[in-house]
Chain A
């Protein structure tokens, strides 16, 4: 089933971590397996890297501490070698890390170089995006990663009920649109031409972290954006290119968009006011955010909407 949610604050940053948690927790019934956030703050000169060195289920296993220690040392070493000046690095969990670096080079070789380390997966890269995801419900992940203090201008989130792939961190949403900075996607649905698109995109040089069909959307959009297409147009193309039933949200450093397939089999409810745009699979999530009766609407079939932040 899965549940998705998104927020834009038009009047400046807010407690994005808390707000998306409220929305996602109210939709726990749509997906208790994992919860994820793509949180956007004001762009910074530093590049923020969220990466993992092991799956949560591996943590606590034999020899994992030494492996994680070696992995972290290797990450720091490779950052230095590629010319990324490490500013900060820490881990809330022991297996998932947040680092900030001064780096003005191409992000693709940076991501590739880090992911060459055994067990390392880059969850997000960018000047304003941070992807946080883990197993469990929203309250669990918020507490685990101390998201209560994170302020941001916009964000998207996801609660996952695993259907097509494993219950693990690699299969949790959101997906970063490798190697495109600050682009993230959450998705509710199934893409039935997943393998066809995966082969096509792999031939174009893109890599995939998971076996999850949702990752295709992020990479697909990244390729379109890389080619110079604007977000709205790229999303409209996706409605023709993807088969199946789907509703997805995509966010960039300065925009947020929604797309709904022609069957409209996956729900989405939208609320817009002068200072807030909020969207979610169910209205109950919007109520959890605004705390009062509000006028909302369901986007139509094949509807694509984008907002500038």
Chain B
């Protein structure tokens, strides 16, 4: 039932909070910069305000303070801009973005930058499981550890982890690159189709059809360039892993070969 409860929260007929699509208009805007204090705002209000500032006000540099581990912050931004989180967002932060450069001065929960198309997300702390799930493009840099299944179903882009990664990193990865500077837990690259995973530390075990590859000059050039861009220092010695292409349902055709057949 739609209506206003005694707590003042508005629900729609499906029981969802805040059908009210109006941004709160609480951001402090100063020229090309703006600050949103998320303390007393719900996820929806924070995102409405962020979109208002970026799209309607044309502000290119937004700082969100006190994100309070709220979920789904900064999602669906399809424009080049700078977004800084001073603190830790919760789950599903910066999903479905296409273009922004995001700096997170904190840690993040599960499923950071899910389905990101382009842009960059840099996290100063650790990130939870499913980081970069179905990543399609852009760069994702995590300076701490990451949880399980990092880059699951990754379809492009680059994930750089300065710490260690949990179980099933790169599970069913289809394209793109992952650079794990620390250790990787069991099942690295399990059932991966394509792409490359580089690991600096120990690997508990390789997943099905994930095999060691040979580092060549282009690998080193790529990794050095990414580390330089993000000021990450000298990369560690890395081992390369790729798809063995022996899974029973893998057609073993390169995309160019497949095009030829079609």
Q: Which of B90-142 contact A (CB under 8 A)?
A: 90-91, 106-107, 109-110, 125-126, 128-129
Residue A300, interface by CB 8 Å: yes
In whole angstroms, how far apart are the Cα atoms of A293 and B109 in the complex?
Answer: 13
What residues of chain A lie closer than 8 Å to B70, measured between beta carbons?
284
Contacting pair A293 B129 (CB below 8 A) = no
Known: A264-B166, A267-B128. A298 touches B87 (CB 8 A): no
**Contact A298 B126, CB 8 Å, known A263-B148, A282-B69, A284-B69:** yes
| Residues of chain A within 8 A of B69, CB atoms compared | 282-284, 286-287
Residue-wise interface mask of A (249-276) relative to B, using a CB-CB cutoff of 8 A (1 in contact, 0 not): 0000000000000111101010000000
Interface residues in A157-216 by Cβ distance below 8 A to B read none
Query: Which single member of B66, B90, B148, B186 contacts A283 (CB below 8 Å)?
Result: B90
- A144 in the interface (beta carbon within 8 A): no
Closest to A283 in B: B69
Chain B CB within 8 A of A296 CB: yes
Is B191 an interface position by the 8 A CB rule? no
Q: A267-B110, A300-B185, A301-B148 are in contact. Are A284 and B166 (CB under 8 A)?
A: no
Contact of B185 with A301 in the complex, beta carbons under 8 Å: yes
Is residue B213 contacting chain A, with contact meaning CB distance below 8 A?
no
Shortest CB–CB separation between residue A247 and chain B, in angstroms?
12
A265 and B167 CA atoms in complex are apart in Å by 10
Known: A262-B167, A282-B109. A298 touches B129 (CB 8 A): yes
B7 and chain A: residue at smallest CB distance: A139
B178 CB-CB contact with A under 8 Å: no
B71, B87, B126: the one within 8 Å of A284 (CB): B71
**Min C-beta distance of B187 to chain A, whole Å:** 9
Task: Give me 27 A-to-B residue pairs in the complex whose CB atoms sit less than 8 angstroms apart, sorted by A's number.
Answer: A264-B167, A265-B148, A267-B109, A269-B109, A269-B128, A282-B69, A282-B91, A282-B109, A283-B88, A283-B107, A283-B109, A284-B68, A284-B69, A284-B70, A284-B90, A293-B88, A296-B107, A297-B126, A297-B145, A298-B126, A298-B128, A298-B145, A298-B147, A300-B185, A301-B148, A301-B166, A301-B185
A-B residue pairs, 9 tightest by C-beta = A264-B148, A283-B69, A284-B69, A287-B69, A301-B167, A293-B87, A298-B147, A284-B90, A287-B68
List 12 extra interface pairs beyond A264-B166, A300-B166, CB under 8 A: A263-B148, A264-B129, A264-B148, A267-B129, A283-B69, A284-B70, A295-B107, A296-B107, A297-B126, A298-B126, A298-B128, A300-B185
Query: How far, in whole Å, are A286 and B125 apart by their CA atoms in the complex?
Result: 17
Interface of B is mostly: loop
Distance, CA A156 to CA B241, complexed state (A): 42
Complex interface: chain A residues within 8 A of B66 (CB): 293
Interface residues on B, range: 20 to 34
Interface positions of A (Cβ within 8 A of B): 262-265, 267, 269, 282-284, 286-287, 293, 295-298, 300-301
Cβ distance B74 to chain A, nearest Cβ, rounded Å: 16
CB-nearest residue of chain B relative to A294?
B88
B147 contacts which chain A residues (CB < 8 A)?
264, 298
> Which of B69, B107, B110, B145 is the most central at the interface, judged by chain A CB atoms within 10 Å of its CB?
B69
Return chain B residues, CB-CB under 8 Å to A297.
126, 145
Task: Report B159 CB to chain A, min CB distance, Å.
Answer: 17
The smallest beta-carbon distance between A138 and chain B, in angstroms, is 14
Docked CA distance A269–B145 (Å): 13
Nearest A-chain residue to B70, judged by Cβ: A284
Alpha-carbon distance A262/B166, docked complex (angstroms): 10
B142 smallest CB distance to A (angstroms): 12
Measured between beta carbons, the chain B residues less than 8 angstroms from A283 are 69, 88, 90, 107, 109
- Distance in angstroms between the alpha carbons of A130 and B106 in the assembled complex: 37
Q: Which residues of A contact B148 (CB under 8 A)?
A: 263-265, 301
Q: How far is the CB of B27 from chain A (nearest CB, A)?
A: 20
CB neighbours of B110 from chain A (8 A): 267
Closest to B87 in A: A293
Q: For residue A264, which residues in chain B have a CB less than 8 angstroms away from its CB?
A: 129, 147-148, 166-167
B104 → chain A, closest Cβ, in Å? 12
Nearest chain A CB to B151 CB, angstrom units: 15
In the complex, residue of chain B having the shortest beta-carbon distance to the beta carbon of A267: B110
Residues of A contacting B71 with CB < 8 Å? 282, 284
Point out the residues of chain B lying under 8 angstroms from A301, CB to CB.
Answer: 148, 166-167, 185-186
Residues of A close to B90: CB separation below 8 A: 282-284
The contact string, 1 if C-beta is below 8 Å from chain A, for chain B 66-93, is 1011110000000000000001101100
**Complex Cα distance A100/B220, Å?**
70
- Cα-based distance from A296 to B69 in the complex (angstroms): 11
User: Using Cβ atoms and an 8 Å threshold, which residues of chain A touch B128?
Assistant: 267, 269, 298
Cβ–Cβ < 8 Å partners of A267 in chain B: 109-110, 128-129
Residue of A nearest to B144 (CB): A297
* Residues in chain B near residue A286, CB distance under 8 A: 69
Instruction: Determine how close the nearest CB of chain A comes to the CB of B65; give it in whole angstroms.
Output: 10
State how many angstroms separate the Cβ of B111 from the closest Cβ of chain A. 10
Say how far A296's CB is from chain B's closest CB, in angstroms: 7
Q: Closest CB of chain A to B145's CB: distance in Å?
A: 8
Task: Find chain A residues with CB under 8 A from B109 CB.
Answer: 267, 269, 282-283
